[in-house]
Structure 1
Amino acid sequence: MSGLANTNVLKISGLKVAYGGIKAVKGIDLEVNQGELVALIGANGAGKTTTLKAITGTLPECKVEGVITYQGESMKGAKSFHLVERKLAMVPEGRGVFTRMTIEENLMMGAFTRNDKAGIEADVAKWFDVFPRLKERAQQLAGTLSGGEQQMLAMARALMSHPKLLLLDEPSMGLSPIMVDKIFEVIRNVSAEGITVLLVEQNAKLALQAAHRGYVMDSGTITMTGQASAMLDDPRVKAAYLGE
């Protein structure tokens, strides 16, 4: 962790989320510091996506307790569209591209909080360089893209907003191995540029290989946390999540 300032970008304290009588998240603590890539891993249904939705205020009707702060300010009552203005962006599970807009229009939507025309054009060119498949299909409707291409587009669109914190929810889900490699290459590059990232991912090995620190979530609780490199070697993580 050397060279990374120990300042919280995101801090979660005592987060509980309940849908009716079902407790999806049971009082977790989690923090992401400036410039870190933090992985939140765990089995399906562990509460990882619910945690991200609690951060972004996009949960359905449910009971939420605890404190979530972003850049030192409480997120209580924050509307999701205000978060983009505060430089927090999320790539949701299932990608969520605007299917009836072109690829280029989707990218422009990612920059709607900006007014630096030249900078926006430069960023569109940058992401077309990173993802040549998007460039080839720039005027195609996003709904006609493959799952992997939609994932590329969703990531590029989120990054067009110049986020200080990027939340990624299961970016590898349903993708071919070659596409997963490309997406993780971009995640590592984004982190290397200094963007703070919280990555929720079922592919524990890839997530921990890319991350600085990790948290393991199981049945709504955090069961383990530590340096990602150490967690990769931990026999409990290997047995439960790495298939070793």
Structure 2
Amino acid sequence: MTDALLKVEDLKVAYGGIHAVKGINLEVRQGELVALIGANGAGKSTTLKTLVGLVKPAGGSITFNGENTARLAPYHYVNRGLVLVPEGRGVFPRLTVEENLQMGAHTRNDKAGIANDMARVYDLFPRLKERRLQLAGTLSGGEQQMVAIGRAIMSRPRLLLLDEPSMGLAPIIVQKIFDIIRMIAAEGVTMLLVEQNAKLALETADRGYVMESGRITLADDAKVLLANEAIQQAYLGE
């Protein structure tokens, strides 16, 4: 078993008097795709935001690549390779597709590498190549999600955090997005995926965690969680 690239221990997050995350433990090892599933309001998105410094923890530790990162300012995370694709996509609407992708490489100065990665993103998302000069704000939701993932790839993430990539998208687009997620994982990019579509998340992931009311209540191989009757009834509609 390899050492964890990300290790979260007894993480607590509070908004005012509300305890959103109540002492969770989780880890992601190099090369894994790990799913974090649970109902709306369980604390999943709060956990991801805390991992990249957008929300400060009330307690516990976050270790990324051997370094305690719990108190770093948000801009330090990208330099360390910890990159979030946020819920709601967060594209720059008044910039073109290509300018959005270039923003993902703003911390880099290796022109040849950036050009190679841009070509790779366009290979993954041919639709974006067709629309590279179009303003991102005029794209469909699915195309904007492609931009958000492509922009993250441009930063060469060591760990890619995906927050609800299927939200608000038509089923056929969701399948395309998850096909791309699988391709990126197959290239060796480590991922932590928060996803409302629990079945699709667990079918895609190596391991999974179930979060309920700010706590991790189950953790196991994704196939084991998929076969769990309680999980099926609660999250898979079976």
The alignment's TM-score, normalised by the length of structure 2, stands at: 0.97
Partner of 1:98: 92
- The residue that corresponds to 2:157 in the other structure is 163
Q: Is the 8 A contact 1:100 1:143 kept in 2?
A: yes
Distance verdict in 2 for CA 1:228–1:144, change over 3 Å: same
Partner of 2:74: 80
Q: Which runs of 5+ in 2 are unaligned?
A: none
Which residue of 19, 36, 41 maps to 1:45? 41
- Shift of the alpha carbon at 1:121? 1.2
Consecutive unaligned residues of structure 1, counting only runs of 5 or more, are none
Letter in 2 for 1:86: R
* Residue of structure 1 in register with 2:132 after alignment: 138
TM-score, structure 1 length as denominator? 0.95
- Specify which of 47, 51, 56 is matched with residue 55 of structure 1: 51
For 2:14 and 2:120, locate their aligned partners in 1 and report how far apart those are by CA, in whole Å: 42
Letter in 1 for 2:126: P
Map of 2:27 onto structure 1 = 31
Is 1:219 aligned with 2:184? Answer: no
Q: Is the 8 A contact 2:36 2:209 kept in 1?
A: yes
Q: Deviations over 1:105-142 (max 9, x none)?
A: 11111111222212211221221122121111111111
Alpha-carbon distance in structure 2 between the residues aligned to 1:207 and 1:94: 18
Within 5 A, what are the aligned runs for 1:165-184? 165-184=159-178
Q: Which amino acid aligns with 1:147?
A: G
Task: Name which of structure 1's ranges 113-122 and 80-89 shifts more when overlaid on structure 2.
Answer: 113-122
Letter in 1 for 2:162: L
- Report the secondary structure of 2:47's partner residue: helix
Shift of 1:54: 0.8
In structure 1, what is the equivalent of residue 194 of structure 2? 200
Corresponding residue pairs, total: 238
Select which of 8, 18, 24 maps to 1:22: 18
Q: Deviations over 1:11-55 (max 9, x none)?
A: 110011111221111110000011110000000000000001111
Give the letter aligned to residue 65 of structure 1.
Answer: G
**3-state SS of 2:92 partner:** coil
Q: RMSD over aligned Cα, in angstroms?
A: 1.1
